[in-house]
Amino acid sequence: MDAIKSLRRTFLLTVLLIFSLEGVAATVTVMVPQEVDVLGGGSVSLPCSFSFTGIKPSTVLTEWFIEEGGSRVRVGYSSGDGAGSDTGTPLSGRVSVETNLSLSLTSAKVSDQRVFTCQVTAGATGSGEGSTQLRVYVAPEKPEVTTSNQLISVTESTVSEVGKCSSRNGFPDGKIVWYKDGSPLPEVMEANNKLYMVPRVVREASGLYTVTSTLYLQPKKSDVKSSFHCRAIYSMPGDTSEHNDSPKFNLSLHYHTEKVTFTLVNTEPIKEGDRVRMRCEADGNPTPEFDFIKKEDDKDVSIPGSNGVVTLNSVSRSDEGEYLCEALDFDSPPSVELKKKLTLVVHYLDPISMPKEVSVALGGDVNLLCETKGSGPHRMEWRKGSKVLSQSETLYLSELSFSDAGVYSCHAFLLSIPTATKTGNLTLNVIGKPVIDSPSEAMVLKEGDLVTLTCSAQGNPLPEITWSHPTEQSESINGNRVTSTVTLHATAKILQGGVTCEATNEHGQETQRFQVAVGKDASSTPSQPGGGNPILTAGKQEGGSRTVVVAVVVCVVLLLLLAGLLYCLQKSGKLPCARQDKSTATSAESNPNDIVVEMKSEKANEEAGLLDPSTGKRPIGNQ
């Protein structure tokens, strides 16, 4: 007590002494911030300023101190003579005192986190000081998670270590929060059977902290789909906080299969030739291996599969039947059904049975039949080219002409799968004597001009064409049709008697007479087959029509005159030859063979064909 009182008295005395000496009261007040933050490795300036009362001091000394080993150590100073920094301090080489008295610090270290004191001594005016806490911050590295590669069994009744999260080299230490599917997990530090974390902080030799947290939890089967990660939360200058997330990871959970499915991958009904895929799936983790078996009669045949899928590249009806998949999960309890059945149905159609070739006489009828068998109901169709002729397995064709010859196809369609089809082809041959179907008249401008005649005949076998005036002929063949063309000089004989073309095959022959007339329009020499009646064809031609009509009228008049003359001569008995003609005609009536021999008209030829004994059929001529 006495000591303190005496000290007070001494202090009072000193102040009074100073006041009395200087005559004015004087004080020094130093101003520094309480705290300054700096990022590790960065630069910072610690401000310091002062104020005073009384006389302006003549000299001012500013010194910066730190606490080191329990005592105060100066690191830098500034006075009227200049500024400098002290050697042998932890800050040597990194600090300087500025003219505004701030302490500049570069390459901030974790160890720089300490109290800095700025002391100002102003001679007789006195001295003052202020202290600043420097805080250093270092952001940790991106957090990392290490997980055990071991599968975690969900059947365990206690927790398993799920992962360890490390946030390295931060300052100050931060903390770690665990996340599951984006939501933070509650922070539980006490060990239990469900979930907890064990945090740990290690101060590295560098002074930096490594923070770790180990997550323990009892996983559920549903956790296999969850994603986990950890987040490191740490402080930064200015009382802010930042965070950094680890990569996401999944739990390697192990659980046995509870359900097996065996399904057909194909969505459409299966037909022969299809590629079939059957998939077996099990919900265990890891996915078990599978065994595939085909049930055949009383034995089981093993089938290769890959990744739970059996592929049959081109199935046939023999692949139909029962298939079995077995999931080889030996952890599953016996109550779990690990075998699943699948019945494969393969639809099919047999190849169509039908003749390849059918031959029918011209004018005849035919009933074509095609048949097949299939795995189910099917429909049949007959076509020629793209034209549908019948919607059943039979096709009836009557009064066959040469144009009916050709390829007919029969198509079978399975009703359950319209894409399952079969096709067969049949060639129909129409056999018969030749039929000529070319126009039979031509025009020349004047006698002696060249005229081109075309004779076109159909027949099976292919007819042979001969002309009454042998000359060079050019012939073309198209299927059952042969077309022959000759070029002749329209001589008087030809103009009068015409030219005949004869088509012959083993079933008979047909003849056509070409009339060659002199007319104005000689250029329109018909050459297209398909005409028939020469009068009709001529009538259609504008240029030649008048000439033809005149010719016909003249002929009719001449015939009438001739008939009248003959009648008159016969009545008067002056014509023996007339009686001869009559007797031939009479005998012809009693002998049909003579008609065939004697009659040379086209009509006669057709009738001869009708009775042709070599075919035994009644071909219909071209009507």
Ligand X SMILES: *[C@@H]1O[C@H](CO)[C@@H](O)[C@H](O)[C@H]1NC(C)=O
Strands 253-254 and 152-153: parallel
8 Å CB contact between 198 and 166: no
Hey, what are 293's tokens? 């078996």
**Alpha carbon distance 359, 284 (integer Å):** 69
Query: Is there binding between residue 252 and ligand X (CB under 6 A)?
Result: no
Hey, what are 245's tokens? 């997330």
When the beta carbons of 133 and 252 are compared against ligand X, the nearer one is 252
CB 352 → ligand X: shortest distance, Å?
A: 8
CB 138 → ligand X: shortest distance, Å?
A: 23
CB 253 → ligand X: shortest distance, Å?
A: 10
Which one of the spans 98-106, 364-372, 465-473, 574-582 is the region binding ligand X (CB under 6 A)?
98-106
Whose CA is closest to 212, among 150, 170, 242, 157? 170
- Judged by CB under 6 A, the residue of 86, 90, 98, 206 near ligand X is 98
When the beta carbons of 409 and 440 are compared against ligand X, the nearer one is 409
Cβ neighbours of 184 (radius 10 Å)? 11
Residue entry with tokens 């050459």: 527
- Judged by CB under 6 A, the residue of 42, 47, 90, 497 near ligand X is 47
Which one of the spans 139-147, 333-341, 422-430, 495-503 is the region binding ligand X (CB under 6 A)?
422-430
When the beta carbons of 424 and 534 are compared against ligand X, the nearer one is 424
Backbone angles phi, psi at 6, to 5 degrees: -70, -35
CB 44 → ligand X: shortest distance, Å?
A: 10
Query: Is there binding between residue 45 and ligand X (CB under 6 A)?
Result: yes
CB 536 → ligand X: shortest distance, Å?
A: 37
Query: Is there binding between residue 246 and ligand X (CB under 6 A)?
Result: no
Whose CA is closest to 174, among 230, 100, 108? 230
Omega prior to 286 cis, within 30 of 0: yes
Query: Is there binding between residue 591 and ligand X (CB under 6 A)?
Result: no
**Alpha carbon distance 355, 352 (integer Å):** 10
- Judged by CB under 6 A, the residue of 74, 94, 243, 248 near ligand X is 248
Residue 69 is classified by DSSP as T
Query: Is there binding between residue 375 and ligand X (CB under 6 A)?
Result: no
- Judged by CB under 6 A, the residue of 96, 214, 409, 515 near ligand X is 409
- Judged by CB under 6 A, the residue of 12, 15, 407, 535 near ligand X is 407
Which one of the spans 187-195, 244-252, 451-459, 498-506 is the region binding ligand X (CB under 6 A)?
244-252
When the beta carbons of 194 and 225 are compared against ligand X, the nearer one is 225
Residue 92 is classified by DSSP as T
Query: Is there binding between residue 31 and ligand X (CB under 6 A)?
Result: no
**Alpha carbon distance 103, 101 (integer Å):** 7
- Judged by CB under 6 A, the residue of 249, 473, 617, 621 near ligand X is 249
Which one of the spans 162-170, 246-254, 322-330, 411-419 is the region binding ligand X (CB under 6 A)?
246-254
Which residues in 517-536 contact ligand X (CB under 6 A)?
none
Omega prior to 172 cis, within 30 of 0: yes
8 Å CB contact between 459 and 507: yes
- Judged by CB under 6 A, the residue of 10, 14, 51, 100 near ligand X is 100
CB 225 → ligand X: shortest distance, Å?
A: 5
CB 45 → ligand X: shortest distance, Å?
A: 5
Query: Is there binding between residue 96 and ligand X (CB under 6 A)?
Result: no
Hey, what are 132's tokens? 């600043």
8 Å CB contact between 380 and 411: yes
Whose CA is closest to 338, among 346, 348, 328? 328
H or E segment at 594? helix 592-598
Residues contacting ligand X: total by CB under 6 A: 15
Whose CA is closest to 57, among 83, 77, 27? 27
Hey, what are 161's tokens? 């270590």
Which residues in 207-236 contact ligand X (CB under 6 A)?
225, 227
For residue 17, how many C-alpha atoms fall within 13 Å in the half-sphere facing its CB?
Answer: 7
When the beta carbons of 353 and 622 are compared against ligand X, the nearer one is 353
**Alpha carbon distance 386, 518 (integer Å):** 47
Report CA dihedral (118, 122, 126, 131) to the nearest 10 degrees: -10
CB 56 → ligand X: shortest distance, Å?
A: 21
- Judged by CB under 6 A, the residue of 29, 150, 263, 423 near ligand X is 423
CB 380 → ligand X: shortest distance, Å?
A: 14
CB 522 → ligand X: shortest distance, Å?
A: 44
Beta pairing partners, 413? 379, 421
Residues 6+ positions from 157 with CB-CB distance below 8 Å: 193, 218
Which one of the spans 11-19, 94-102, 298-306, 436-444 is the region binding ligand X (CB under 6 A)?
94-102
Q: Which residues bind ligand X (CB under 6 A)?
A: 45, 47, 98, 100, 102, 225, 227, 248-250, 407, 409, 423-425
